[in-house]
Every structure is written in C-alpha cells, then in structure tokens.
C-alpha cells in the first residue's frame, strides 16, 4: 500500500474520529490479507456472525482510544 | 450513517458516560453490519450466550475508558 | 435502567475501586441482556467454565484501569 | 469478601507489582466464582490448556499496566 | 534475533507509525515461533480466516496506541 | 519464584524493551503453570496454532505498552 491513506489522526469531530477508527481497524485486516478479492469473498463469514461483529467493534474501540487521545478528546 | 450521532464525548455524569460507551459499542457493530433488519435477526444469537455477553461488556469497558478520560473522570 | 447506579468513580480505597470495577463489568452485561431472570438462568453457563471466568476477570481488569485512574491510583 | 485484601497499589519493586497483578487477576475470578472448592476443582481445566494460560497471562498484563502506573513505573 | 530491528519508535508520519505497529505485531509472533519456514507454512491457516484476521488487526491496534503515544500522536 | 527476575522496567533501547515484554508475557504463564516440565510439554499445542500465536503476540503488545511508558517511549 504505497498510497497515503493516513495523513493525520486529527479530525474535526468525535464522529469523524470514530469513522477514522473504523477505517484503521479495516486497514489492519488489509495489511494481513491484502487481496481485495479475497477480503470481499470472506465478508459473509463475519457479517452475520455476532461473535465476529463484537470482535470487530472491539478493534474499533481500541483505535478510537488512540484517535480520541490524538484529538485531546475534542475538548 | 450521515446523521450526527456523536456530537461530543462530554457527559454530565459517569452514568451517562457509561451509557455513551454502550452506544459506541453498538455503533461499532453497526458500521460492520449496517442492516437494522439483519442485526435484529441476529439478536438471539448473542443475548443468551454468556461468552458473547461478556465480550460485549468488554467492548463497553474499552469505550468507557475513552469516555471517562474525555470527561477527566468527572472529578 | 432509570435509577442512579453510578454517581461517581471515586472510592475511598483501592479495594472499593476493584469492587466498583466488578459492578461495572456486570452492568455492561445487563445493558445487553436486561432481563434479571434470563441472566440468572445463564449463570451456570459461565461460573464453572474457566474460559469465561478468565474473560470476566479480563473485563474487570479493564474497568479497574479506569477506576484507578479516576482515583489517581489512590496515591 | 469482607477482609481487606487490597490496601494499596504501591509496591517496593516492579516484581512485587507483577505479583500484585497476578493476585488481582485471580481475585477477579474469585468475585465471579466465590467458591474455593469449585475453583480448585476447575484448576485442571485450564492449567494444561495453552489457550487459557495465554488468556490468564493477558489479564495479568492488563493489571500490571495499572499497578505500574500507580507506582509511576518505579522510576 | 540478534539484529537491530527496532532502533526507535519515532516515525515521520502516522502511516509509517501504523506500518511499524504491523511490524511489531508480526515480530511478536516471531518471538514465539522463530522458524521462518514454520510461519510461512502456517500462513494459509489464518489469511482466509476472518476471526484470525480480526484478531491480527486487534494486535496492530494495541501496538499503534504505543507508537502513536511515542510520537505524541504526530501533533 | 523467589529469585529476582524483574529488577527494573528500564531498558537501554526499544528493542530491549520489546524483549522484556516477551519475557513478561511468558512469566505471566509461568505464574499460572509453574512446572517447567508441563510448560515444555505443552509447547507443541500452541507453536503451530496461529490463533494462539496471535494471542501471544497480543499479550506481548500489552506489556510493551507498559514497558514503553516506563521508558518514556525512549524519546
């Protein structure tokens, strides 16, 4: 992935920060499984599996901690 | 999700902060499985499964760390 | 849950803080499965399952981080 | 558990802090399964199961973060 | 592993920091399973398994917290 | 374990800090399963199991956060 996909952790709003956390959690998967085709084919393996949906939400939560700290919690 | 659902991490009380953490953990699932219909149909998969209930509580705990820090722990 | 169950994160002692962390981990489950009856019926699913006991201890640990920080680690 | 088992998070050394983290992870289990007899009977369920040994080490790691911060990392 | 593979946690950009987090998560595996040959042979065990892809993303997220803090969140 | 195995969290380099995190994650297992013989016999249970290798890497990541903070991120 040679493109710039993460120029900054700063966001204008908490909600944009949450969306950045979602993006970071997905990019984490992409670094491990780079093929767009494979990832798409696997989508049905987790999007109806509540254990994996909760696990995905967990990863987002960890990244949201980082993004929130980077933005001084948008105080 | 184009609506504003997270205007701020500030809450008046610790309890309201905990409830915000609950909301964040649910929204994390929603970003991965956006269909309200599918999520509703999956509810019975986890709400009687203690492993998943504990996992849900875990995600809430991670978000509560973030919300508590954002509110300077309501000191 | 309309009652006030979390007025503050401050506790007099580390031990009381740990007990608050236990409470927060349980309330996290309660928000996902609000029925007292169902939760009671599920108790035997996890209280003899070491994997789930360890997972419960993990959630307590995450909340204890938050409570300890809120109390400036009772220094 | 009416006894005082956690008077302070302060320890003289990092190693004593690690041992306190081990204790906290065990007490977390004890709050969920208070019976000494049951916990003893379950010991063989996890002490030869590497998945659970790793999970136990994880809980210790989370508590060690808390204890280390409480002691200003013994700097 | 006698070589120097981690001279610093500083990176020029958040994206380079994320890539360092990916590296740290892989090195963590390498310390537990040092054989390049074995690790290569195991690749197909996780790169099509969404549970493990999510777990990998989780580890990256934890390391990214560390790297981001080390860089003062690239503010 | 009566020996001194953790005199300090300070390390000269980030890499030495990472290696300390690896050590801490292993010692966490040792406190739960103290027998060297049993732990050795279990090695083949996890060193070819990618789920457990990822979980081990996760524990290292948590400890590395602690060690990095203790060293002020080697800034």
Taking one residue from E and the other from F, the number of pairs with CB-CB distance under 8 angstroms is 87
What distance separates the 2 farthest-apart alpha carbons in chain F? 41
pLDDT at B2 over 90: no
pLDDT at F1 over 80: no
CA-CA distance, F43 to F38, in Å (whole number)?
9
Place of tokens 């973060």: D65
Query: Per-residue pLDDT averaged across A51-59, rounded?
Result: 98
Residue among E24, E27, E1, E10 nearest E72 (CA): E10
Query: Per-residue pLDDT averaged across E25-34, rounded?
Result: 97
Residue among D47, A55, A44 nearest B38 (CA): A44
Across the interface, of B27, B58, B65, the residue whose CB is closest to A58 is B58
Q: Which of A13, A46, A50 to mutate to test the interface with B (most CBs of B within 10 A)?
A: A50
pLDDT at E2 over 70: no
What is the residue-wise DSSP string for F14-71?
HHHHHHHHHHHHHHHHHHHS--HHHHHHHHHHHTT-HHHHHHHHHHHHHHHHHHHHHT
pLDDT at C2 over 70: no
Contact D24 C46 (CB under 8 A): no
Classify A30 as helix, strand or coil. Answer: helix
Tens-place pLDDT, residues F40-56: 999 999 999 999 999 99
Contact F24 D64 (CB under 8 A): yes
Q: Tell me, what's the pLDDT at A53?
A: 97
* Chain D residues inside the 8 Å CB shell of C64: 24, 63, 66
Helix, strand and coil in chain C, % to nearest 5: 70, 0, 30
Burial zone of C56 (CB within 10 Å; 0-12 exposed, 13-18 middle, 19+ buried)? buried
Q: Which of B43, B48, B57 to mutate to test the interface with C (most CBs of C within 10 A)?
A: B57
The C-alpha R_g of chain C, in whole angstroms, comes to 14
pLDDT at D50 over 90: yes
Place of tokens 């509703």: B40
Place of tokens 């980082």: A66
Q: Tell me, what's the pLDDT at F75?
A: 94
Across the interface, of E10, E28, E70, the residue whose CB is closest to F61 is E28
Across the interface, of B9, B42, B55, the residue whose CB is closest to A74 is B9
Tens-place pLDDT, residues B3-13: 999 999 999 99
Contact D73 F25 (CB under 8 A): no
Q: Tell me, what's the pLDDT at C27?
A: 98
Query: Per-residue pLDDT averaged across F29-33, rounded?
Result: 97
pLDDT at A2 over 70: no
Contact A53 B42 (CB under 8 A): yes
Query: Per-residue pLDDT averaged across D19-26, rounded?
Result: 98
Query: Per-residue pLDDT averaged across E45-50, rounded?
Result: 94
CA-CA distance, D54 to D51, in Å (whole number)?
5
pLDDT at D2 over 70: no
Across the interface, of B50, B55, B68, the residue whose CB is closest to C42 is B50
CA-CA distance, B46 to A50, in Å (whole number)?
7
């Amino acid at each position: 992935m040679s493109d710039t996909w993460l120029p900054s952790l700063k966001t204008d709003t908490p909600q944009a920060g949450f969306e950045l956390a979602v993006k970071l959690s997905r990019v984490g998967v992409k670094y491990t499984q780079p093929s767009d085709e494979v990832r798409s084919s696997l989508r049905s393996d987790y999007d109806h599996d509540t254990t994996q949906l909760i696990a995905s939400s967990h990863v987002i939560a960890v990244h949201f901690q980082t993004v929130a700290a980077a933005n001084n919690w948008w105080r």
